[in-house]
């Protein structure tokens, strides 16, 4: 039996990793599409990458909506969710209804923290793999995926929120499905995939949050600056480092343990970011420039609320949250688009 994967949210990141998984032996990858449905159904995804070259990724099946996927009769081993995490706009965990079987694991490939709870509440007995992606990719037109840099994905099992009854959800089974997914990534050429346990993957999430809270939000607040510009401006570098320190200082208090030694310091993150190719932009800036909702809640709002519960204050994160929320609201009011408020 082949391993079957369904990408839910086949945009930049979903299609990029989907195209990699599709090259793993005995692996069939399908895609649930929305605005790119016609392009992908007709031509597949055209993926360009400095690492893997130019390829066409033709999913086994392309679905226009969840009902079609449910009616296909296919049983998926992995549902890979790579929609934008926008709990203030929609609860995407509802997209998985009717698709989760006894053999299915859910893989959440989204930035931010506190993204897992709604999935676990809806499917309390299902293994949830929480994944942190470091690749930088964009979809400039429907079905065209430009991978700019990096490939790394860290995966680990989600242990669960305290208020959810997870009786029958065996943690060792979650680890097994996580290892299986990790092997698939490796077989698909993601050589720097990483496997973590439930505690350390949350530290990885907070470490990635330090990048997104600083870089993504500042790219928008500084009036559309790309990664190269931000990391070569001395004043902005000072601000980015201070935000990263704020988040990374809070993480051990919030998670109740020390981070793995392998995680980078703010200075190391900055050095790596300074090597970004000119023109590569954080995903939040891409959303801002296209008039779409930004992932403000999972990147700023959730961390602030979680930190407050532990008595930790993050003043820079607080200021950016307040400013960006109003920027988004003002933009949407001006364009008459109230659906995103
Ligand atoms: N881009 C990047 O470089 C990185 C992004 N990330 C994170 O990965 C996640 C995905 O980001 P990214 O790939 O950039 O986002 P994109 O906007 O490129 O892709 C999201 C996709 O999900 C689709 N989608 C949303 N809702 C539905 C729905 N109800 N049914 C079907 N499809 C749906 C969107 O369709 P439509 O086009 O119609 O809206 C879009 O194709 C985010 O959490 C992001 O922060 C992490 C690392 C890097
Ligand atoms: C690739 C990276 C790290 C760039 O900031 C990212 O996570 C994003 O764009 O959301």
Residue 304: CB partners within 8 Å, gap ≥ 6?
A: 314, 317, 318, 321
Per-residue model confidence (pLDDT) at position 168: 56
Q: What is the mean pLDDT of residues 54-81?
A: 97
161: pLDDT confidence band, cut at 50, 70 and 90? low
The reported pLDDT for the residue numbered 174 is 85
Q: Is the model's pLDDT at 46 over the cut of 90?
A: yes
What is the Å distance from ligand 2's center to 55 Cα?
23
**pLDDT tens-digit profile of 83-92?**
999 999 999 9
- CA of 232 from ligand 2 middle (Å) equals 17
Mean pLDDT of 13-28: 98
- Residue 338's pLDDT band, with cuts at 50, 70 and 90, is low
Tokens, residue 311: 């008595």
Residue nearest to atom 4 of ligand 2 (CA): 282
Q: Nearest ligand to the C-alpha of residue 137?
A: 1
Q: How confident is the model at residue 132 (pLDDT cuts 50, 70, 90)?
A: very high
The DSSP 8-state label assigned to residue 339 in this structure reads G
The pLDDT-based confidence of 165 (bands split at 50, 70, 90) is low
d(Cα 322, Cα 334) in Å, to the nearest integer? 18
Ligand 1 center to residue 296 CA distance, Å? 14
What's the pLDDT at 173? 78
Distance CA 304, CA 319 (A): 11
Report the separation in Å between the CA atom of 110 and the middle of ligand 2, taken as the mean of its atom positions.
10
Q: Which atom of ligand 2 is nearest to the CA of 216?
A: 5
Give the pocket of ligand 2 (CB within 6 Å): 111, 136, 211-212, 215-216, 282-283
pLDDT at 166: 57
Q: Is the CB of 295 under 6 A from ligand 1?
A: yes
- Burial of 280 (C-beta count, 10 Å sphere; 0-12/13-18/19+): middle
Confidence check: pLDDT of 237 > 60: yes
Over residues 292-304, the pLDDT tens digits come to: 999 999 999 999 9
Q: ipTM, 2 decimals?
A: 0.98
Work out the mean pLDDT of the chain and round it to a whole number. 94
**Would you call 241 exposed, middle or buried from its count of C-beta atoms within 10 A (0-12, 13-18, 19+)?**
middle
Q: Please work out whether the CB of residue 18 comes within 6 Å of at least one atom of ligand 1.
A: no
C-alpha 22/C-alpha 62 separation (Å) is: 14
Between the CA of 98 and the centroid of ligand 2 the distance, in Å, is: 31
pLDDT band at 111 (very low <50, low <70, confident <90, very high): very high
Confidence of residue 277 (pLDDT cuts 50, 70, 90): confident
CA-proximal residue: ligand 1, atom 38 (nearest): 35
Residue nearest to atom 25 of ligand 1 (CA): 83
Q: Specify the DSSP element, H or E, that contains 2.
A: none
Using 50, 70 and 90 to split pLDDT, how confident is the model at 110? very high
Ligand 2 centroid to Cα of residue 136, in Å, is 6
pLDDT > 90 in the chain, percent: 90
Its pTM surpasses 0.90: yes
Q: What is the pLDDT of residue 172?
A: 77
Residue nearest to atom 10 of ligand 2 (CA): 283
Ligand 1 atom with least separation from CA of 110 = 43
């Amino acid at each position: 039996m082949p391993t079957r994967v369904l990408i839910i949210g086949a945009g930049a990141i979903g299609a990029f990793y989907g195209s990699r998984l599709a090259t793993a032996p005995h692996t069939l990858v399908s895609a649930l599409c929305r605005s790119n449905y016609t392009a992908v159904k007709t031509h597949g995804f055209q993926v360009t990458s400095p690492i893997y070259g130019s390829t066409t990724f033709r999913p086994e099946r392309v679905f226009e909506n969840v009902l079609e996927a449910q009616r296909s009769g296919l049983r998926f081993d992995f549902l890979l969710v790579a929609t934008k995490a926008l709990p203030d706009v929609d609860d995407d965990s509802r997209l998985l209804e009717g698709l989760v079987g006894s053999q299915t694991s859910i893989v959440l490939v989204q930035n931010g923290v506190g993204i897992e709870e709604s999935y676990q509440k809806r499917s309390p007995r299902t293994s949830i793999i929480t994944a942190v992606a470091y690749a930088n990719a964009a979809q400039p037109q429907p079905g065209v995926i430009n991978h700019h840099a990096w490939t790394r994905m860290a995966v680990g099992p989600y242990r669960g929120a305290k208020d959810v009854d997870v009786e029958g959800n065996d943690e060792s089974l979650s680890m097994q499905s996580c290892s299986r997914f990790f092997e698939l990534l490796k077989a698909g050429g993601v050589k720097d995939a990483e496997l973590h346990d439930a505690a350390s993957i949350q530290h990885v999430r907070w470490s990635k949050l330090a990048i997104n809270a600083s870089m993504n939000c500042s790219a928008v607040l500084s009036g559309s600056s790309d990664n190269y510009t931000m990391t070569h401006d001395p004043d902005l570098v000072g601000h980015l480092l201070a935000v990263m320190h704020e988040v990374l200082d809070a993480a051990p208090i919030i998670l109740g343990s020390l981070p793995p030694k392998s995680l980078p310091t703010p200075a190391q993150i900055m050095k790596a970011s300074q090597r970004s190719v000119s023109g590569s932009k954080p995903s939040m800036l891409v959303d801002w420039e296209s008039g779409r909702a930004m992932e403000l809640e999972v990147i700023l709002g959730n961390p602030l609320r979680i930190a407050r519960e532990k008595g930790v204050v993050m003043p820079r994160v607080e200021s950016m949250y307040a400013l960006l929320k109003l920027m988004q609201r003002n933009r949407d009011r001006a364009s008459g688009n109230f659906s995103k408020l």
